[in-house]
Structure 1
Amino acid sequence: MVAQAIASEAANMTINKKSLSERDICSKYITPSLTQAGWDLQTQVREEVSFTDGQIIVKGKTVKRGKPKRADYILYYRSNIPLAVIEAKDNNHSVGDGMQQALAYADDDSALSLPFVFSSNGDAFLFHDKTVKTGDVEQELSLDQFPSPDELWERYCRWKGFKETALEVVTQDFYSDGSGKEPRYYQVNAINRTIEGIAQGKRRLLLVMATGTGKTYTAFQIIWRLWKAQQCKRVLFLADRNILVDQTKNNDFKPFGKAMHKIVKRTADPAYEIYLALYQALTGTEDDKNIYKEFSPDFFDLIVIDECHRGSAKEDSQWREILEYFDSAIHIGLTATPKETKYVSNIHYFGDPIYTYTLKQGIQDGFLAPYRVVRLDFDKDLAGWRPEEGKTDKFGHEIEDRIYNQKDFDRNLVLEKRTELVARSITEFLKGTSRYDKVIVFCDNIDHAERMRQALVNQNADMVQENRKYVMRITGDNDEGKAELENFIDPESRYPVIATTSKLMTTGVDAKTTKLVVLDSRIQSMTEFKQIIGRGTRINPDYDKYFFTIMDFKKATELFADEDFDGPPICIYEPGADESPVPPEDLDETIEDESLAEEFAEGETLVDGTTPPDIDLDTSPVKPRRYYVKDVEVSVVAERVQYFDPHSGKLITESLKDYTKKRVGEEYSTLTDFIQQWTTAERKQAIIEELEEHGILFDALADEVGKDFGPFDLICHVAFDQPPLTRKERSENVRKQNYFTEYGEQARLVLEALLDKYADEGISNLEDISVLNVDPFSQWGTPVEIIQAFGGKSQFLEAVNKLKNMLYDAAT
């Protein structure tokens, strides 16, 4: 018996189990138990698994990673089916001390979604079985009672209700090219839940995954497993934009090779197995042009609908007819933003999402970029503008007498100086960051996007002289602009840098290096808002893209405060509801002819089968489409910066000081508690890092309170109303105490230089021995030689610790 063998070995070697580290407990007790139970350490057991990347924490212009979530063990039946998590503790803890942590890792909604959970301290296992409906959910097992892979798999299959016929597809492996790339934990959850749902007989499934989390890669793995298991022999991938189809074919779907075919001509070729198509390539205004009918209704076994919140979401759309024609196939909808209105519903068609992974989860896991918001309010936006009697626009049209406000600007009336002010604000921001950071400027319509392009060209004349494509309008009506979309997306292509657009770039544009998203569009649709925010959420470390900024000129970011922004989709659809007049949710998609035209590439048809309408931007002798006013001044009356709160996943809308006070109060109930922890901590930087992980933004706080104050004084002042001391004041207080006289001359020079470093740059210089490699220390010898001036490393560290204590003992 393994427990007896381990006990005998421990007795023979007189091992004191209490003295063993957590890793020793794993290697000497837990791993042998797994081996004895029949688990293959090479294929079924993974140790110290980091399943998140660690949240990105932004500190001013610098970024750092928080701690990733790490499981001590994850157990797999096969490489694609995780079954259990084990949390290990050293023997100074009880058997069940790791259970709550392990349950958090196994959580269905925000983590690994595992049914079997174990905790161990090397004496035994505490086993939590989520599949148990009645009886003991938790029980203690001895070291030699750990369940075998077959035992857990049998429980799992019984719990899921799998029939024998389902096992082949459920156990089919992921695709692997040998590069080591594996699906992330949430992708595994999405893939397995979809595969299992299909195995259990589901025919309509909806996957909701935030932009930038790999929906297409997830879809590829689903299709691959179903295809390899012969469950689905012919597959159709549908999208409504050419760029979405091409990105899919050339990237994630590439392993399908010669079995894959993109339908580009109006003919149906039945010789392939994996098809990709635009809706527009399959349909036409006349029945004989509906190419999809050249396939038999049962030709496809599976249809994947990309960005399913768009055209096919409507029951009466021409595109929905394709899905209804292939009704016998399994339909999987993919979207970051399911559309749920009184008139249109993804859930009504697909059912409740089989898996959801939100923007908030993606940011907290470190897979998506956090954001900050720069909100600018203009005087005319807030107060409105009314023309004086007889006022004419620049084309001589008399302007209708009424109050024009933000909802009118750039739609019914154009204040040209407002456009110039937006362009100037964007340019000033880039001059403070980088003139080559990729920027998308979302405008209300094509006319607005063109005027914004012109204004940005004038504000960036030096950059445009360097390359005329520095600013480009990328809209559906402009061939040259659309031709630059791939270059804008390509991280290796410097130009275009700034893209002005309306609708074309809201969905499916995989621009990984976008660092600034500008909102000068009045966005009323939550679906559209989520899609636009998704343009900035991708991370690209190779190009220093870890976070992005949203610059908002039309109050669009107020939608962040809506509980629907990152909440679960709820079906409110009413079948047969009258869609006239146009529902508010769809106004941005229908009210402007430009918007309709821009939804589709040239030569394609609209949902109703018609071609996009001509865009009339000219004035008319009667009433113009919009007035253009060039002589009305506009000014900024308010500007504020809001930060993503890693604690709640929301924007910090209260003052930074109030927010800091609240967060610190959650960690330290009194000033005494904080000071005690600070003074006793061997590494002050550890406390700083912990507070940063809880959302304290020290750089931003220093901008408000004063850049000469260190984190200790910022916390004491802001959270506990204490008068702060600057770093220089603290260093001077130490000098007054004649502390250095007990050391030799060279040691005194080193300590005084360290004190100067603290006064100039902060506490981190006192806690990183590598500081001895830089000036002025490098002038006095190598780090080893400098440390010898104190008598050795321990004496040097003792002197530095004493210096740190005196800094904060003095007038704390």
Structure 2
Amino acid sequence: MSKKLFSERDICTKFITPALESAGWDKIKQFREEVSFTDGRIIVRGKLSTRGKKKRADYILYYKPNIPIGIIEVKENNHEVGAGMQQGLEYADVLQLPFVFSTNGDRFLFHDKTNPNTIENEIELDNFPSPEILWEKYLQFKGLANEQSKQIVEQDYFFDGSGRAPRYYQQNAINLTLEAIAKGQNRILLVMATGTGKTYTAFQIVHRLWKSRTKKRILFLADRNSLIDQTKRGDFKHFRDKMTIVQKRQVDKSYEIYLAIYQGLTGNEEEKNIFKQFSPDFFDLIIIDECHRGSAKEDSAWREVLTYFKSATQIGLTATPKETDTVSNSEYFGDPIYTYSLKQGIDDGFLAPYQVIRVSMDLDVEGWRPEKEKKDKDGNLVEDRIYNRKDFDRNLVIDERTQTVARKVTEFLKNTSRFNKTIVFCRDIDHAERMRSALANLNSDLVLQNHKYVMRITGDNDEGKRELDNFIDPEQTYPVIATTSELMTTGVDAQTCKLIVLDTEIGSMTKFKQIIGRGTRVNEEFGKLYFTIIDFRNATDNFADPTFDGDPVRIKVIDEDTPADDHFEEEDSNPEDDKPAVVPSVKEGQKDYTKPSPFDEKKTKPEKIYINGVDVTILNTRELYFDKNGKPITLSLKDYTKDLLSEKYESLDQFLYLWKNSDRKEAIVKELEDQGIMVNELLESVNKECDLFDIICHVAFDQKPLTRKERVNNVKKRNYFAKYGEQARNVLTALVDKYADEGLDTLESMEVLKLNPISDFGSPVEIVKTFGGKKQYLDALKELENEIYSLA
């Protein structure tokens, strides 16, 4: 049999795998076939969602199971040897691989990033390089050829037998970190979007360095007890008795892995700093979780801990690196050695996409001025001035506004599912409590079944904090709705949160990213594939900011004369709600760790005015659309679509030709969606009784759109079915009626033959036989489609 008749799989089995094995590659440990390294972007269609295509490499080569070094793209033999090279190079960039091979089964085209003199050359099948040859080239390229470096980078991952292994981007972050440490870098920053497994990545880094004895004593630092407890019970649990939490004044120095919160190590008085019970060189490695918080400030008490242990290798982890004119992560850690953004996570299908609903109220848009002699609920006159959105729930509380927000949230849940986990972000604790009460009244039937249906989870409320674990546990039904202010903005692994409500001003990009991160986790087992944001304060304007999903730009101004500021920016933290984590109580005479540190000092807040009896009206509710790069569309949906279509189709004739000659029209629909055209949204905004054909003709080429029913009536008027026998004519009539009701995708599916009323004419096999066989049936279907669109 000619090689040109072989499938791609046949080429792999008969030629490529034998060539690899002959070169010394172990099939079990050193190469994998058909490796899907992404999950496929989640595509949301109204209330439905589906997965897009996964990125899949034909072969990935590993020197060891934890060290991928090359990729092979295979094409059928009727292609050129280099036909797969561009795809291979694209995948190699994503996977950070230096060696790329393309083949058609005759020979290999080898792209070698380590060889600038001859970057590409052809090699025969029986001359494929061995693992040792590529590994030595890799080490030389990376500057890791000495024995100490090899000992670090060759250390295996931790595998617990569960089948869990690092995803490709975690593998990139881990390997790049170990390579940096092997080359002597001691300050490292990793930027990974919320929900991408920063703690698991940190565990694998720590385990490999600890197992190789490169780093023997390790400190994991966070700023909340919940994060430390979550780390100990979760990814770090495998350290078992080698690990301890630092929580008492007298520390035990016999452990190897230490978990601690900043507040448990620092104090107001020099002699009470627990961390100084350790010698400055005690720790070899420090991992700083959420390093955008207190340790980002040069003059903070938290930075003092890192400065004290300055000889240790320090790795900062964050989803939201902070770069302002006074605070800089990158100034301390250096630029990130690896970044995995929210956009990348959504594109790969590891993170949940979002849809945004913006709600505008008259008070917020137009402002509110009290009528003459207007009194508050205590009987005091309300100051006569115009109050705007920034005043509401900060200086002025209007009961009806709170009720309107709660009513809109309740309405949304009733239209989707009333048991979708929901977080409502409020201005402060007082606002969160009032919102809890309003939501409880509007959902009294469910609250009577279980009072935990809606709860306030804030830093001052023990009952609410006790329910935090239940809220984030997918197995637990209650609480369903959590109202909060600051406590849940970060470090809350809410896997099944499907609704985020924004009813607070968000002036900090860091805080905005953290809040959005509460919804980005995917949990397919519990049906969580995307989430919705309802925005009452235009906070989602932040999506349009170039810094929302870009690399951090260092902008801190170094000025020694600038006075120290021990406080966070007001919009970044509300100290009353975001109290420092509390360590267990201590004996008399010891430090009281429950005392806030100076950087958590309360700020003076304006007194609030509480009023009622105000008419509040929702002016409009609109869905915010995003392009394929995740940026909000500022044009109207029709104008945006017209621009995209004009790039794709030069003329109406070109579009009509492609449409008519497509075997499956649904393939064109899919291609347009991949280009960023929101098909369902477009149908809703123009006329959902039309199909995409008419919408494109109307939007791009100014043609009058016909509804599906109008097209079907035109087909029937032309007596098109007369040339068929009675049974076939009945089937075609039923099919065209089905198209009128449900659209083109139903018509093109063979499954339609199983649906009423078509199934009344017999089984799919019997119906197909009516036309003389499957080919004849498909030909008749294609002819029917052409007839439907013939008036164009």
TM-score, length basis structure 2 = 0.95
SS in 2 for 1:182: coil
What CA deviation, in whole Å up to 9, does each residue of 1:61-85 have, x standing for no partner?
1111111111111111111111111
Counterpart in the other structure of 2:25: 39
Query: Please, which of 653, 656, 661 is the counterpart of residue 672 of structure 1?
Result: 653
Contact (CA 8 Å) 2:108, 2:125: kept in 1 or not? yes
Partner Cα distance (2:393, 2:564) in 1: 23
Structure 1 distance, partners of 2:350, 2:615, is: 43
1:95/1:119 contact within 8 Å kept: yes
- Cα offset, 1:316, TM superposition: 2.1
Q: Which residue number corresponds to residue 448 of structure 2?
A: 465
Residue of structure 2 aligned with 1:529, choices 482, 499, 512: 512
Q: CA deviation at 1:441?
A: 0.9
1:751 to 711, 732, 742: 732
CA distance in 1, matches of 2:306, 2:681: 51
Partners of 2:568 and 2:344 lie apart in 1 by 26
Q: Which residue does the alignment assign to 2:589?
A: none
Q: Among residues 752, 763, 767, which one is paired with 1:771 in the alignment?
A: 752
Contact in 2 for aligned 1:173/1:225 (Cα 8 Å): yes
Paired residue type of 2:641: T
Q: CA RMSD in A?
A: 2.3
Aligned equivalents of 1:88, 1:718: Cα separation in 2: 41
1:555 match: 538
On the 8 A contact 1:450/1:473 being kept in 2, the answer is: yes
Q: Is the contact made by 1:589 and 1:596 (CA closer than 8 Å) also made in structure 2?
A: no
Taking the TM superposition and a 5 Å limit, the aligned residue runs for 1:304-383 are 304-383=287-366
How much has 1:608 moved relative to structure 2? 3.1
1:144 equivalent in alignment to 2:119: no
Rounded to whole Å, the distance in 1 between the matches of 2:560 and 2:444 is 52
Indicate if the aligned counterparts of 2:247 and 2:584 stay in contact, CA closer than 8 A.
no
Listed as ranges, the matches of 1:599-618 within 5 Å are 604-605=593-594, 608-609=597-598
Q: Which residue of 1 aligns with 2:610?
A: 628
DSSP 3-state at the match of 1:751: helix
Instruction: Single out whichever of 419-428 and 396-405 deviates more from structure 2.
Output: 396-405
Contact 2:356 2:535 in 1 (8 A): yes
Match of 2:714 among 717, 722, 733: 733
Residues 1:582 and 1:383: Cα distance change in structure 2 (over 3 Å): farther
* Matches for 1:246-325 after TM superposition, within 5 Å: 246-325=229-308
1:219 and 2:202 equivalent?
Answer: yes
C-alpha distance in 2, partners of 1:614/1:321? Answer: 23
Could you tell me how far 1:585 is from its partner in structure 2?
Answer: 8.0
Deviation at 1:778, TM superposition (A): 3.3
| Compared CA separation, residues 585 and 404, structure 1 to 2 (3 A) | farther
1:387/1:399 contact within 8 Å kept: yes
Q: How does 1:428-577 map to 2 (within 5 A)?
A: 428-576=411-559
The offset of 1:613, in angstroms, is: 5.1
Which amino acid letter does the alignment assign opposite residue 122 of structure 1?
G
> Does the CA contact (< 8 Å) of 1:236 and 1:276 recur in 2?
yes
Kept after mapping to 2: 8 A contact 1:57/1:692: no
Is the 1:477–1:598 Cα contact (8 Å) retained in structure 2? no
2: CA distance between counterparts of 1:388 and 1:489? 45
Of residues 67-76 and 567-576 in structure 1, the stretch that sits farther from structure 2 once superposed is: 567-576
Is 1:808 the equivalent of 2:774? no
**Secondary structure of 2:397's partner?**
strand
CA change 1:582–1:283 in 2 (3 A) is: closer
Q: Greater shift after overlay, 148-157 or 36-45? A: 36-45
State the 1:611 CA deviation. 7.8
What are the superposed Cα offsets for residues 415-449 of structure 1, whole Å, 9 maximum, x if unpaired? 22211111111111112111111111111111111
Residue 158 (structure 2) aligned to one of 157, 170, 175: 175
Q: Secondary structure of 1:253's partner? A: helix
For residues 329-387 of structure 1, give each alpha carbon's deviation from its aligned partner in whole angstroms, at most 9, with x where no partner exists: 11111100011111111111111111100001111111111111111122222222233
The residue that corresponds to 1:23 in the other structure is 9
How far residue 576 of structure 1 moved from its aligned partner, in angstroms, is: 4.6
Deviations 1:156-196 (A, max 9, x none): 11111112211111011111122222111111100000011
Q: How many residues align?
A: 784
2:675 is aligned with 1:686: no
User: Tell me, what secondary structure is at the counterpart of 1:771?
Assistant: helix
Query: For the Cα contact (< 8 Å) 1:338–1:527, is it kept in 2?
Result: yes
Work out the CA distance in 1 between the residues paired with 2:644 and 2:725.
44
In structure 1, what is the Cα distance between the partners aligned to 2:98 and 2:187?
25
More off after superposition, 350-359 vs 743-752 = 743-752
AA paired with 1:468?
A: H
Matched, 1:93 2:74: no
Q: Deviations over 1:653-678 (max 9, x none)?
A: 32221222222333322222222222
1:376 aligns to what SS in structure 2? strand
Give the whole-Å Cα distance in 1 for the aligned partners of 2:566 and 2:604.
Answer: 23
Which amino acid counterpart does residue 622 of structure 2 have in structure 1? R
Decide which moves more: 479-488 or 743-752. 743-752
Q: 1: CA distance between counterparts of 2:150 and 2:596? A: 41
SS at match of 1:299: coil
Correspondence 1:696 to 2:677: yes
1:722 aligns with 2:711: no
Separation in 1, partners of 2:567, 2:681: 38
CA contact (8 A) 1:503 1:598 kept: no
Q: 1:579 to 1:509 in 2, by over 3 A?
A: farther
Helix, strand or coil for the counterpart of 2:469? helix
Which of 11, 29, 35 is 1:49 aligned to?
35
| Change over 3 Å in CA distance of 1:493–1:372 after alignment to 2 | same
Q: 138, 145, 150: which one pairs with 1:156?
A: 138
Q: Deviations over 1:554-581 (max 9, x none)?
A: 1111111111111111112234566669
Structure 2 CA distance, aligned partners of 1:381 and 1:602?
Answer: 44
Aligned equivalents of 1:583, 1:231: Cα separation in 2: 36
Cα 1:47/1:669, change in 2 over 3 Å: farther
Paired residues of 1:440 and 1:517 also in contact (CA < 8 A): yes
Q: 1:335 to 1:800 in 2, by over 3 A?
A: same
Aligned partner of 1:77 among 63, 75, 84: 63
What residue is the counterpart of 2:588 in the other structure?
Answer: none
Paired with 1:610 and 1:375, the residues of 2 have a C-alpha distance of: 35
Instruction: Work out whether residues 281 and 312 of structure 2, in 8 Å CA contact, stay in contact via their aligned partners in 1.
Output: yes
Normalising by structure 1, report the TM-score.
Answer: 0.92
Residues 583, 666 of structure 1: alpha-carbon distance in 2 compared, 3 angstrom cutoff: farther
Change (3 A) 1:719 1:577: farther
Partners in 2 of 1:18 and 1:339 — Cα distance?
A: 56
Q: Distance in 2 between matches of 1:635 and 1:690?
A: 41
Matches within 5 A, 1:96-107: 96-107=82-93
Unmatched segments (≥5 aa) in structure 1:
1-14, 617-623
CA distance in 2, matches of 1:513, 1:245: 22
Q: 1:421 aligns with which of 404, 408, 420?
A: 404
Percent identity, please: 61
Measure how far apart 1:774 and its partner are. Answer: 2.6
Q: Distance in 2 between matches of 1:610 and 1:103?
A: 48
- Classify the secondary structure of the residue corresponding to 2:248: coil
Q: Which deviates the most, 382-391 or 476-485?
A: 382-391
Give the letter aligned to residue 147 of structure 1: P
Matched residue SS, 1:487: helix
The structure-2 alpha-carbon separation of the partners of 1:353 and 1:606, relative to structure 1 and needing over 3 Å to count, comes to farther
